[in-house]
Amino acid sequence: MELRTTGFKILLSFICIGVIFISACQTDINTSFEESVEPYLELEAIDNSGNTVITVNRGDVSGLDSYFAFNLNNTPDHGLVRAGLTEGWCLEWNKAIAQNNDTHGGVAMYSTEGSSTWKPANYLMTIRKELQAEDPALTYREIQVALWSLIETPAFNLDEALANGTMPSRMLLNGEPIFDVQKVRSITNRVRQEVSDFTYSPDKPFLVFARTDDGQQNGGIVTCSAETAWADGTRFNQQGGNWATYTSYNGIEKTITLYAGQTIDIGTVTFKPENGNVKITIELNQYGEFQNVQENVKIQDYSTAPSGNPQIGQFDHKGTAGGKSFSTTVPSNSFYAVHVDAKGCE
């Protein structure tokens, strides 16, 4: 696997002349210069990322289950993040950010991939969807507070923040937390217990920092990660385990969602009758991308509903897709399983 980030180590002298703090959440607490720069000294700049434009809003205002909503433009073609609306996270709980549709230009990006300092935070981002699948009531608030708790600098203590009134106001209503404190503790405890076994790999997401030169404090973006994707439908294995799905087809054109990692909507799959066969078209949205591998699309047709765990490598119909769309024609049948080797972006 080729290294996905290249560039140069951030030097202390460079930090002295630029704003390096990443995400802003509050204004009434400040850390020392030495304490603030410590987490960023080991990071590498991502090539050609210095002209990115980011518009910042609250996540819930933009319909996202995240602390921030970042609308990215002029992003480099590095495959880590891409243009469009994406989830954003606060990495410095005690600093302020302009987040009312404020636009920041000339943004540079830095990778945390491989960083030991940021390993707990990146492990949390890796298991976030799993946590939310296990507990559908879990919201971005619990994830965000857990993230603050796992970042070394600036240090964050949940009990102290609640006791001394320094918890960011967005997390409170009438002075009381609007997140589940016990769930936050449970998440952070799990991460700390399991993180020693976590290793960075190309199929796992990590945080990318966005640094501005305009005095504002921007935040963390979770990268696209390799995902298994299936056209929405019925599970092969009704007892759990493998989440592979198939969909029924009755000869009438239909369009369904393509899900990566069980929960990420990355596009659509359309079934359309064509000269006695069926044309299947995959269209990816801004959150999806085909992996750069051979035969990244595999399709199997069935006359009766399948069960068990599918043997994907033995599917009859295979193709290699690029760009944002792919079409193929297959025999007409009653059921189809559509599998895609994809990248899913938050």
298 in the same domain as 195? no
User: What are the helix (H) ranges across the chain?
Assistant: 12-16, 33-37, 119-134, 140-150, 158-164, 181-194
Domain that holds residue 246: 226-344
231 in the same domain as 209? no
User: What count of other Cβ atoms lies within 10 Å of the Cβ of residue 171?
Assistant: 19
Q: What is the pLDDT of residue 240?
A: 63
281 in the same domain as 193? no
Where among 165, 196, 223 does a domain terminate?
223
Where among 192, 223, 254 does a domain terminate?
223
Tell me whether residue 2 is in a domain. no
Question: Alpha-carbon distance 40 to 253, whole Å?
Answer: 52
Tell me whether residue 78 is in a domain. yes
Q: What is the pLDDT of residue 29?
A: 39
| Per-residue model confidence as pLDDT tens for the chain (346 residues) | 333 433 333 322 222 222 222 334 553 434 443 444 455 566 777 877 778 888 999 999 988 889 998 888 888 766 677 777 888 999 888 877 788 998 888 888 888 999 999 999 999 999 998 898 889 899 999 999 999 999 988 899 999 999 999 999 999 999 999 999 999 999 999 999 999 999 998 778 889 887 766 555 546 788 776 678 999 999 998 776 678 999 999 999 999 999 987 877 889 999 999 999 999 999 998 778 888 889 999 999 999 999 888 999 999 999 999 989 999 999 999 999 999 998 766 5
92 in the same domain as 34? yes
Number of domains in the chain: 2
In angstroms, the Cα distances linking 310 to 69, 243, 260, 306 are 37, 10, 17, 8
183 in the same domain as 140? yes
Tell me whether residue 4 is in a domain. no
Q: What is the pLDDT of residue 217?
A: 57
Q: What is the pLDDT of residue 14?
A: 25
User: What count of other Cβ atoms lies within 10 Å of the Cβ of residue 41?
Assistant: 13
184 in the same domain as 62? yes
159 in the same domain as 37? yes
Tell me whether residue 193 is in a domain. yes
188 in the same domain as 135? yes
Contact 52, 210 (CB under 8 A): yes
Strands 335-344 and 52-58: unpaired
Tell me whether residue 1 is in a domain. no
SS3 state at 343: strand
208 in the same domain as 83? yes
Tell me whether residue 6 is in a domain. no
In angstroms, the Cα distances linking 328 to 184, 198, 279 are 46, 39, 6
Where among 223, 256, 283 does a domain terminate?
223
Positive or negative: CA dihedral 91, 95, 100, 101:
negative
Tell me whether residue 138 is in a domain. yes
Contact 41, 116 (CB under 8 A): no
Question: Alpha-carbon distance 27 to 25, whole Å?
Answer: 7
Q: What is the pLDDT of residue 297?
A: 97
279 in the same domain as 149? no
Tell me whether residue 84 is in a domain. yes
33 in the same domain as 176? yes
279 in the same domain as 173? no
